[in-house]
Structure 1
């Protein structure tokens, strides 16, 4: 009787799944299934006999904790069933059963293209299914689902790729994703006025989708590793502490702007994303060790954050009788902070991008087309809600230990944190030089002290 097992092999966290086929004493062969899986999602079994009894083996099956694992388990079960059936047919015909036979069956089974498989493999259909799957995806941390912004990025990819397909009058399959197709997509996006930053995000997400398709069993080209996303200059716009004071000292005629001003100031002093800032209420304030603390759970990461209330934040709450500013939507917050920064004369010429109407191929379209255009603008035109978190991180970098800043902003690595605030190796070298100069000055000051009189 034939026996089929699957095992996850490899030295990296992403394991390749092999099929082990045995029948009697004479047949014990193995072949690649072309599926891969993260080691944390593989349910390893233990040896039941022999010298390794009780020890973990590479054999097992996908964990049934999410849609991806369940789908992969179904694919492996189907592969097992069909190979068993073909083995019975082959033995009746007297065919030789060896590794070549097994690999031929795997390739043949996986390369069959029914109309249903074609539909699933259509890039737009695949992206639609992928977007539906993302809210149920379980991350390595154990947290279920990805953020709304991440899901929106893949929705943007689907829409832009649909436009690209329409321009080519061609429908592409996920198996068509190669560096060449990526280059064609890039060329189309540039021709239509999209920025390198936006194009880079779309290309990286296309590559991510291709990797997911490979895990789903599609025969994706190994060349997807050579897909390179364009990079462009990124602009780190912040409000300095002086500018925050300038805003604080400005009184606005409209109460809506005064309300938004307080939210902006609080955001820049606590360093939270707008999704964590605007829902705050007095219930988030707790007393710990005689100090007032702000306690919240970040929506994107699920991390619990506890911050001491700065004097500036306490002053805002005190004038509002311990309450946070009136609730407003993200959209209104973005609109109001641009207006109030203009009134407060936050006008420093600053590099950044602004969405503007553009011409494509030197022509204005009947439907207005807007793209992010890089340039130098008065800073108030570049203000968005993202400025709160970055201003906090940049303003206090060097004064507050970086790990403490990261615990507030939610960054997981110092490298990502430094990239976020735009610090380079040269910046860090300058900071180190300043620190050494400070130490040297303190040492010199100590050595210049003279003993006037010894204590009796």
Structure 2
């Protein structure tokens, strides 16, 4: 007949209370319970707290819990005999039942919501917006193919079919590549949570294509500087000055439009001359930056009594700087992509250059115009790029371009 005993083995306080199950010669199991007691308060013969402490509510509850544990273990043992393997794992699982693994959806569309829930505290709002955009694109793809995508379906064939679909809808190749990379990220995250993925997942490649990066040349910046004031409204002039500041400092729109004179301090350089520096924390990376301010920026600030131009929203800035460049006659015909509001996607074709101007152009112009003049490591610090490869891709430099520039040193 089975017997169950409670044991305290240690003389040190607090001591673990063990439970021991014996049944004949074949079953003799012992496991730690989740209960502890001072050995001085333990009655070894009665296998319970000593009588005088059981008047205390905590010891009384402990006594009841231990009785329930013994009764429950005996009941589980009787139900398990001949059905389960009775061993140390069995008794430990009874004392501390294993938590059931959380079951996640294996449908790709549903899992994107799970991914967002996991990552929303760690990534920027713009990343969440991209995830939701890809989710809706995949919903349209499912509707088009009359299928339901499961995570295990993401293989090389899916990649090829998805590319064909996106190209038929006029998506730019690099946008398609970015979306495929995001889809792979969703699948890898699902895999880490126990969801089945396709064995071909790691073989899916999505290469970015070299594109002509739009930036303002030094000559075009001079045109913007020299626009007659009479041709500019107050709002357009304000945006023009912000655009010039961005071309001179190389920062993201999310950063330079927050510039304020309170961020400026002056330090002496090696020649003992006071140099203006601006200190701020990048919105995208949370990195603390200290960069020099060009004398051209200080000159612009004089118009505003030592302040930066008036604050302006990103959206209004994007609209106004197109107008600035149109007035400056930056109208060279070039191939580019532009969002078509009627069909809701970017369309690649020939546009006048001013039509393709957007908020990132100042940062790219700064990097492109100073490349080869200012050491690349300094430019990377200013722009915030972490690798030279990323920086060179950003300004559109190919291996041939770099080789030709290198030839000047030999």
Give the TM-score, by structure 2 length: 0.72
Partner of 1:347 in structure 2?
331
The offset of 1:89, in angstroms, is 6.8
Tell me how far apart the structure 1 counterparts of residues 170 and 152 of structure 2 sit (CA, whole Å). 28
Other structure's SS at 1:222 match: coil
Change in CA separation of 1:287 and 1:167 when aligned onto 2, cut-off 3 Å: same
Structure number with bigger Rg = 2
Other structure's SS at 1:125 match: helix
Partner of 2:196 in structure 1?
219
Tell me how far apart the structure 1 counterparts of residues 368 and 132 of structure 2 sit (CA, whole Å). 31
Other structure's SS at 1:300 match: coil
Change in CA separation of 1:160 and 1:89 when aligned onto 2, cut-off 3 Å: farther
Partner of 2:349 in structure 1?
375
Partner of 2:149 in structure 1?
172
Unaligned runs of 5+ in 1: 1-84, 96-108, 111-115, 137-144, 358-367, 437-456
Partner of 2:140 in structure 1?
163
Other structure's SS at 2:120 match: helix
Tell me how far apart the structure 1 counterparts of residues 298 and 188 of structure 2 sit (CA, whole Å). 48
Match of 1:181 among 158, 171, 176: 158
Tell me how far apart the structure 2 counterparts of residues 158 and 148 of structure 1 sit (CA, whole Å). 15
Alignment of 1:94-113 (within 5 A): none
Match of 1:288 among 262, 267, 272: 267
Moved more, 211-220 or 426-435: 426-435
Tell me how far apart the structure 1 counterparts of residues 148 and 349 of structure 2 sit (CA, whole Å). 37
Q: Which runs of 4+ in 1 moved over 4 A?
A: 88-95
Match of 2:311 among 320, 327, 342: 327
Unaligned runs of 5+ in 2: 1-75, 87-99, 269-273
Tell me how far apart the structure 2 counterparts of residues 125 and 211 of structure 1 sit (CA, whole Å). 15
- Deviation sequence 1:259-314 (CA, Å, 0-9, x none): 00000000011000101111111111111222211111111112222111111101
The offset of 1:391, in angstroms, is 0.6
Tell me how far apart the structure 2 counterparts of residues 400 and 407 of structure 1 sit (CA, whole Å). 11
- Computed over aligned residues only, the root mean square deviation of the Cα atoms, in angstroms, reads 2.5
Change in CA separation of 1:92 and 1:388 when aligned onto 2, cut-off 3 Å: same
Residue 129 (structure 1) aligned with residue 101 (structure 2): no
Tell me how far apart the structure 1 counterparts of residues 288 and 208 of structure 2 sit (CA, whole Å). 33
Partner of 2:239 in structure 1?
260
Residues 276, 298 of structure 1: 8 Å contact kept: yes
- Deviation sequence 1:58-100 (CA, Å, 0-9, x none): xxxxxxxxxxxxxxxxxxxxxxxxxxx9xx97996679xxxxx
Alignment of 1:131-150 (within 5 A): 131-136=116-121, 145-150=122-127
Alignment of 1:46-445 (within 5 A): 117=103, 120-136=105-121, 145-229=122-206, 231-250=208-227, 251=229, 252-289=231-268, 290-356=274-340, 368-436=342-410
Moved more, 284-293 or 154-163: 284-293
